[in-house]
Chain A
Amino acid sequence: MTFNSANLLPVLPEIAILITAAVVLVGDLYLKEKDKGVNHALALVGLLVAFALTGLVGGGGRVLAFDGNVVRDLMSDVLKAAALILSALAFIYARPWLKDRSLLAGEYYVLALCAVLGMLVMISANTFLTLYLGLELLALSLYALVAFDRDSKGGSEAAMKYFVLGALGSGLLLYGISMIYGATGSIELGAVARAVAEQGTSNKVLVFGIAFLVIGIGFKFGAVPFHMWVPDIYEGAPTPVALFVSSAPKVAAFAMTVRMLVEGLSALHTDWQGMLVILAVASIGLGNVAAIAQTNIKRMFGYSTISHVGFIFLGLLAGSAQGYAAAMFYTLIYALMSAGAFGILIILSREGFDAEKLEDLKGLNERDPWYAAMMALLMFSAAGVPPTVGFMGKLLVLEAVVRVDMVWLALVAVFFSIIGAFYYLRVVKFIYFDQPTTAVPIVTTCAVRATMTVNGLAILFLGLFPAALLGLCQAAFR
């Protein structure tokens, strides 16, 4: 392994994030309490630079670096860019919340940037080892972030649960990887793919390996029946962290799934397809039904995430380029919706008060019509009502499923979306049909308002003109 420009160029975005994290870590020591905002600015600049570098080194054909450990292709370009944008959204929304609680410390940004680095590594991994390294970097940073508010009992409890279950998931994943390594003699995805194509399902170790991989993926995505941590973490974690956990890491998890199942094990598609069908149907069903019973909106979003994960799996299990593109599209827009929805919760929170109950949204239209409209858009989109982008995502996924002659799956999915529509509508009901219970005005910074405007209108704009984003997703799987 040599550190020459051919190897370093593709990983420039990762390097930029690492440098930013290091700078923030050291620089924070020299900052006075009132200057902590500099951390925020530095982190955003780092994300921006990484974003620009992704664009600069991106485009063109597939490039392998570091002896095949790292890959740069169109999919990694798009997903990296998306992960960086989503992280920037999370940082911008989080700032007022952190400031109000005197938590605007460097640690938050260091941990979050490390998580971003982990995501980028996952996205461009080309061996199981790199994948696992990225995953653990991401996961460990997230565990710490969830417990970031030291005085919060709920946060510590959630972090503990997250850590134990996350470690279990990682363990199962690693176990699966070791089996596949044993069966194929390689951890490099290309070599694994070749070996798998030769052996087929004759090798039972391989089949077991896939089962464990899928379980690991299920854990990381939060698919039923490996979903138990999701609602607890969403509820317990501080809202900005829940925002972060629910958006960008899903993009990385999608990349991990594609790298492992599609690039490494596509020859065994029929084997993992059946498993994904079960996960998808269970997730869509349980996620949508359980969400109805929630009164805590963060917990409700947790179940909502589970149901969206089911839709992402629907696209993946179709096993066609179209299906992968649809799943990628869905992942990106889901992450965008989730960031926006949690963003609204942060906006509604203030010093000494966290918006967590559904009732906290009451009369939002009276308090701030613009944020009310944005939240309504986000909810209609999550329910899959046109002309928002959520509908386009569902449409593409369903189309991919129908194309591989699994109409029944499409019917199951739309059936549960009807149930799902109810709890999203209930949020709109609280926003528009109820009177506010508090007269406290909603105070937000210009940056937050502008970001939320862009975030909300993007939901509408992408719904009306999905061609560009869809084109990017399709190009990634051509």
Chain B
Amino acid sequence: MESGFPLLTLIIWLPIAGGIAVLASGDGNRSLSRWMALTFAVLTFVVSLGLWIGFDSTTAKMQFVEHVSWIPSVKVFYYLGVDGISMPLIVLTTFVTIFVVVAGWDVIRYRPSQYLAAFLIMEGIMVGVFAALDALLFYVLWEAMLIPMFIIIGVWGGPNRVYATIKFFLFTFFGSVFMLVALIYLYFKAGSFSILDFHALELGMTAQVLIFIAFLLAFAVKVPMFPVHTWLPDAHVEAPTGGSVILAAIMLKIGGYGFLRFSLPIAPDASASLDWLIIAMSLIAVIYIGFVALVQQDMKKLIAYSSIAHMGFVTLGFFIVFSIVRHTGGSAGSVMGIEGGMVQMVSHGFISGALFLCVGVLYDRVHSRQIADYGGVINTMPWFGAFLVFFAMSNAGLPGTSGFVGEFMVILAAFRADFWFAFLAATTLVLAAAFTLWMVKRVVFGEVGNPKVAALQDVNGREIFNLGALAAAVLAFGLWPAPLVNVMHTTVQNLVVQVGACKLPTAEAAACLRGKPAPVASLAP
């Protein structure tokens, strides 16, 4: 489906142009830069709603496709398009960016125009990552994303920011360069950089395994999965509030998105034979990191570890597919696993974003993130206390909030694969409740801990707007997740068919775990 109006291009370049404009406005007139940034952020979100409205959820084909030559001699195209997997994530990105802009409103005193510009530019790049259908374009944007984040953490971060930001950059860079080699190899085999061509490419088992590992390095660092998660707590703790929000709400999702767009469809046979590795890493993340979160003294660190545990659910949902086929002989339920992972990603975007905003609210007032420095906040900040308790509950997966939906779907799917997977995954319901609610208890409830807490002012209008909007989203998708699930349903079904098909060449077909049905029809428009 070729659409006449380049909507995706607009959503990518509008915030980037806005960022440049904000940068050009300088720091002389702060309110001008702020209002400009907010206008561009809201405008981008409004435009991106056009994606949701115009989206046809009955087809798995790429929509809003744009295909323009970029580097002809290497056959690289400016090739954009969205399906049911990328579209919700794009809207999530544009949605969350608004709150980041609002959250930095008058907290950021040092060069606010550069700060806001960095976030707007980053927004455009992240949308581009989700929309890119050309592997090279994807890679360029994927790496370009690091530059603004590197600067955001390094300039506006906490005391140990330089260590954190360099660690962040090098970890991610380490993962992705191997992906680059894999992409070049695929280009060499497929003759083009189109991701859809990669999907249709037949690959031997050795090549698939190596490609899978290269992708795993890139995406596992980004998600992040145990044991390459160590950059995340550091980056979160040192990042300014907005940086933490974007990191948790969007950047981690890009890792999960990578698994769905690259690992599963390009190397399905390697994924099938190595799924135990991902499942093991996911379960370790859920349980071990859950325990690690329990002992954190720093609120941001606690939420960071909680993010890792929740993302473990996402990867578990994505890779449970093969186990389900092996144990039940059919693929029923595998759609639910992947959809559960997707819902979990979107929901985690809201909840973790909101939790970081909550910590930001406290930090702006007290300048401490230590749990021990608080206590009895509810006495001086009743509104804030209510919000924090609500988001904590949804983080723990309380039914009625979006946090419950995704986890429930993944656990249900895991049951079909193996009782013990489901059992271990379900421990999160206890662990997440334990670490979040315990934190809430120590921060929010009890007697007023110290004079600083006694002097706290409750949330102001901007903060209520931020937290209220996110709370509404959490509640809406918790009570009525159907629209989100419907949008992605066809695409996910198609993905399950894709990963169900064996991609090994005929010579190796004997090694196929799942028979060799007819090749998947190309989705190229």
Q: Residues on A close to B: CB < 8 A?
A: 365, 369, 376, 380, 385-387, 391, 395-396, 398-399, 402-403, 407, 410-411, 414-415, 417-418, 421-422, 425-426, 428-429, 432-433, 465-467, 470-471, 474
Residues on the B chain within 8 Å of A402, using CB: 181, 184-185, 188
> Roughly how many angstroms separate A83 CA and B42 CA in the complex, as a whole number?
48
* B151 adjacent to A410 (CB under 8 Å): no
Check if B155 is an interface residue, CB within 8 A of chain A: yes
Residues on the A chain within 8 Å of B72, using CB: 467
Residues on the A chain within 8 Å of B136, using CB: 395
* A474 adjacent to B141 (CB under 8 Å): no
In the complex, chain B residues 167-212 whose Cβ is within 8 Å of any chain A Cβ: 169-170, 173-174, 177-178, 180-181, 184-185, 187-188
In the complex, chain B residues 120-154 whose Cβ is within 8 Å of any chain A Cβ: 136, 139-144, 146-147, 150-151, 154
* A386 adjacent to B144 (CB under 8 Å): yes
Name the distance in Å between A409's Cβ and chain B's nearest Cβ. Answer: 10
| Interface 0/1 of B40-84, CB less than 8 Å to A | 000000000000000000000000000000111110000000000
Taking each of B72, B140, B174, B185, which has the highest tally of chain A beta carbons within 10 Å of its own beta carbon? B140
For A386, give its contact among B141, B161, B185 (CB under 8 Å).
B141
* A391 adjacent to B140 (CB under 8 Å): yes
Contacts known (A386-B144, A399-B187); A407 close to B71, Cβ less than 8 A: no
Name the distance in Å between A328's Cβ and chain B's nearest Cβ. Answer: 13
Nearest neighbor of B139 in chain A, beta-carbon distance: A386
Name the distance in Å between A10's Cβ and chain B's nearest Cβ. Answer: 28
Inter-chain contact total with CB atoms closer than 8 Å = 88
| Interface 0/1 of B156-169, CB less than 8 Å to A | 00000110011001
> Roughly how many angstroms separate A418 CA and B73 CA in the complex, as a whole number?
28
24 residue pairs from A and B, CB less than 8 Å apart: A376-B151, A385-B147, A385-B173, A386-B142, A387-B141, A398-B184, A399-B74, A399-B187, A402-B181, A402-B188, A403-B188, A410-B181, A414-B177, A414-B180, A421-B169, A421-B173, A425-B150, A425-B170, A432-B155, A433-B162, A465-B70, A467-B70, A467-B72, A474-B73
Contacts known (A402-B185, A410-B184, A470-B71); A380 close to B147, Cβ less than 8 A: yes
Residues on the B chain within 8 Å of A422, using CB: 166, 170
> Roughly how many angstroms separate A40 CA and B73 CA in the complex, as a whole number?
40
Contacts known (A387-B144, A428-B150); A396 close to B74, Cβ less than 8 A: yes
* A418 adjacent to B140 (CB under 8 Å): no
Q: Residues on B close to A: CB < 8 A?
A: 70-74, 114, 136, 139-144, 146-147, 150-151, 154-155, 161-162, 165-166, 169-170, 173-174, 177-178, 180-181, 184-185, 187-188
> Roughly how many angstroms separate A403 CA and B74 CA in the complex, as a whole number?
13
Residues on the A chain within 8 Å of B154, using CB: 428-429, 432-433
Residues on the A chain within 8 Å of B178, using CB: 411, 414
> Roughly how many angstroms separate A386 CA and B180 CA in the complex, as a whole number?
12
> Roughly how many angstroms separate A467 CA and B142 CA in the complex, as a whole number?
21
- Known A385-B147, A429-B162; further 11 A-B contacts with Cβ < 8 A: A380-B147, A386-B141, A396-B74, A399-B74, A399-B188, A407-B185, A415-B177, A418-B170, A418-B174, A421-B170, A433-B162
Residues on the B chain within 8 Å of A471, using CB: 73
Name the distance in Å between B397's Cβ and chain A's nearest Cβ. Answer: 37
Contacts known (A418-B173, A471-B73); A399 close to B143, Cβ less than 8 A: no
Residues on the A chain within 8 Å of B144, using CB: 385-387
Residues on the A chain within 8 Å of B165, using CB: 429, 433
Taking each of A398, A402, A403, which has the highest tally of chain B beta carbons within 10 Å of its own beta carbon? A402
Contacts known (A386-B140, A432-B155, A471-B73); A398 close to B170, Cβ less than 8 A: no
* A411 adjacent to B181 (CB under 8 Å): yes
Residues on the B chain within 8 Å of A429, using CB: 154, 162, 165-166
Residues on the A chain within 8 Å of B187, using CB: 399
> Roughly how many angstroms separate A391 CA and B176 CA in the complex, as a whole number?
13
* A425 adjacent to B166 (CB under 8 Å): yes
Residues on the B chain within 8 Å of A399, using CB: 74, 184, 187-188
> Roughly how many angstroms separate A429 CA and B150 CA in the complex, as a whole number?
9
Name the distance in Å between B408's Cβ and chain A's nearest Cβ. Answer: 39
A interface: dominant SS: helix
Nearest neighbor of B69 in chain A, beta-carbon distance: A467
Name the distance in Å between B301's Cβ and chain A's nearest Cβ. Answer: 22
> Roughly how many angstroms separate A398 CA and B155 CA in the complex, as a whole number?
33
* A466 adjacent to B71 (CB under 8 Å): yes
* A425 adjacent to B73 (CB under 8 Å): no
Name the distance in Å between B51's Cβ and chain A's nearest Cβ. Answer: 24
> Roughly how many angstroms separate A399 CA and B139 CA in the complex, as a whole number?
14
> Roughly how many angstroms separate A474 CA and B178 CA in the complex, as a whole number?
26
> Roughly how many angstroms separate A466 CA and B71 CA in the complex, as a whole number?
7
Residues on the A chain within 8 Å of B177, using CB: 414-415, 417-418
Residues on the B chain within 8 Å of A398, using CB: 180-181, 184
> Roughly how many angstroms separate A386 CA and B165 CA in the complex, as a whole number?
18
Name the distance in Å between A422's Cβ and chain B's nearest Cβ. Answer: 6
Residues on the A chain within 8 Å of B185, using CB: 402, 407
Name the distance in Å between A469's Cβ and chain B's nearest Cβ. Answer: 10
Q: 5 nearest interchain CB pairs?
A: A386-B140, A414-B177, A433-B154, A386-B143, A467-B71
Taking each of A396, A426, A467, which has the highest tally of chain B beta carbons within 10 Å of its own beta carbon? A467
> Roughly how many angstroms separate A411 CA and B151 CA in the complex, as a whole number?
28
Residues on the B chain within 8 Å of A380, using CB: 147
> Roughly how many angstroms separate A395 CA and B181 CA in the complex, as a whole number?
9
Residues on the B chain within 8 Å of A369, using CB: 114
Name the distance in Å between A456's Cβ and chain B's nearest Cβ. Answer: 14
Residues on the A chain within 8 Å of B114, using CB: 369
Residues on the B chain within 8 Å of A411, using CB: 178, 181
Taking each of B147, B162, B184, B185, which has the highest tally of chain A beta carbons within 10 Å of its own beta carbon? B184
Residues on the A chain within 8 Å of B155, using CB: 365, 432-433
> Roughly how many angstroms separate A417 CA and B176 CA in the complex, as a whole number?
11
Residues on the B chain within 8 Å of A425, using CB: 150, 166, 169-170
Residues on the B chain within 8 Å of A465, using CB: 70
> Roughly how many angstroms separate A387 CA and B70 CA in the complex, as a whole number?
13
Residues on the B chain within 8 Å of A386, using CB: 139-144
Residues on the B chain within 8 Å of A474, using CB: 73
> Roughly how many angstroms separate A410 CA and B161 CA in the complex, as a whole number?
32
> Roughly how many angstroms separate A234 CA and B114 CA in the complex, as a whole number?
34
* B143 adjacent to A391 (CB under 8 Å): yes
Taking each of B136, B154, B180, which has the highest tally of chain A beta carbons within 10 Å of its own beta carbon? B180
* A387 adjacent to B162 (CB under 8 Å): no
> Roughly how many angstroms separate A369 CA and B142 CA in the complex, as a whole number?
25
Name the distance in Å between B209's Cβ and chain A's nearest Cβ. Answer: 14
> Roughly how many angstroms separate A380 CA and B140 CA in the complex, as a whole number?
13
> Roughly how many angstroms separate A403 CA and B154 CA in the complex, as a whole number?
39
Residues on the A chain within 8 Å of B150, using CB: 425, 428
> Roughly how many angstroms separate A440 CA and B162 CA in the complex, as a whole number?
25
> Roughly how many angstroms separate A421 CA and B155 CA in the complex, as a whole number?
19
Residues on the B chain within 8 Å of A467, using CB: 70-73
Nearest neighbor of B161 in chain A, beta-carbon distance: A433
Nearest neighbor of B145 in chain A, beta-carbon distance: A386
Residues on the A chain within 8 Å of B184, using CB: 395, 398-399, 402, 410
> Roughly how many angstroms separate A428 CA and B187 CA in the complex, as a whole number?
33
> Roughly how many angstroms separate A414 CA and B182 CA in the complex, as a whole number?
11
Name the distance in Å between A61's Cβ and chain B's nearest Cβ. Answer: 21
> Roughly how many angstroms separate A395 CA and B74 CA in the complex, as a whole number?
10
> Roughly how many angstroms separate A433 CA and B164 CA in the complex, as a whole number?
12
Residues on the A chain within 8 Å of B147, using CB: 380, 385
Residues on the A chain within 8 Å of B141, using CB: 386-387
> Roughly how many angstroms separate A12 CA and B180 CA in the complex, as a whole number?
44
Taking each of A369, A385, A386, A465, which has the highest tally of chain B beta carbons within 10 Å of its own beta carbon? A386
Name the distance in Å between B240's Cβ and chain A's nearest Cβ. Answer: 13
* A470 adjacent to B181 (CB under 8 Å): no
Nearest neighbor of B27 in chain A, beta-carbon distance: A369
* B73 adjacent to A470 (CB under 8 Å): yes
Residues on the B chain within 8 Å of A407, using CB: 181, 185
Residues on the B chain within 8 Å of A417, using CB: 177
> Roughly how many angstroms separate A395 CA and B70 CA in the complex, as a whole number?
15
Residues on the A chain within 8 Å of B180, using CB: 395, 398, 414
